[in-house]
């Protein structure tokens, strides 16, 4: 049985707790991929700060990030601006999402049958 899951990363770079949250989000995404489930990762709110951090090859979690890169749906455009990382996000392969008032539409995931899980 295949499932559909949207993973939303909200934690901000800077603490061990936040690192644990983003690594657990990516590890869960990898597990879903390995079981041929449909998974989409969204970096929203303070979570947008993780995109340039994880895209850096020197970051310890970069190999895990690269393993799930194909499942990254994007990062919130508004929040990328608000948290000062929009230019860094633009330098990555991550799309800026502005479906609803410059934010990603989480409603669309629910309409499409995804379970939404936040980290």
pLDDT of residue 92: 97
Please state the domain extents for the chain.
4-118
**pTM, 2 dp:** 0.96
Q: With H, G, I as helix, E, B as strand and everything else as coil, classify residue 9.
A: strand
Q: What is the assigned CATH class of domain 4-118? A: alpha beta
pLDDT tens for the chain, 119 residues: list them: 899 999 999 999 999 999 999 999 999 999 999 999 999 999 999 999 999 999 999 999 999 999 999 999 999 999 999 999 999 999 999 999 999 999 999 999 999 999 999 99
pLDDT of residue 6: 98
pLDDT of residue 1: 80
Spatial separation of the C-alpha atoms in residues 28 and 34, rounded to whole Å: 10
**Cβ-based neighbours of 50, under 8 Å, separated by 6 or more:** 9, 11, 12, 13, 22, 43
């Amino acid at each position: 049985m295949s499932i559909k899951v949207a993973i939303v990363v909200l934690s901000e770079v800077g603490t061990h707790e936040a690192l644990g949250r983003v690594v657990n989000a990516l590890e869960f995404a990898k597990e879903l991929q390995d079981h041929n489930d449909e998974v989409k990762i969204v970096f929203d709110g303070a979570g947008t700060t993780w995109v340039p951090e994880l895209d850096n090859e020197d970051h310890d979690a970069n190999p895990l990030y690269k393993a799930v890169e194909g499942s990254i749906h994007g990062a919130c455009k508004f929040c990328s601006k608000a948290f000062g990382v929009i230019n860094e996000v633009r330098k990555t392969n991550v799309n800026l999402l502005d479906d609803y008032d410059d934010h990603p539409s989480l409603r669309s995931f629910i309409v499409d049958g995804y379970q939404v899980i936040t980290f």
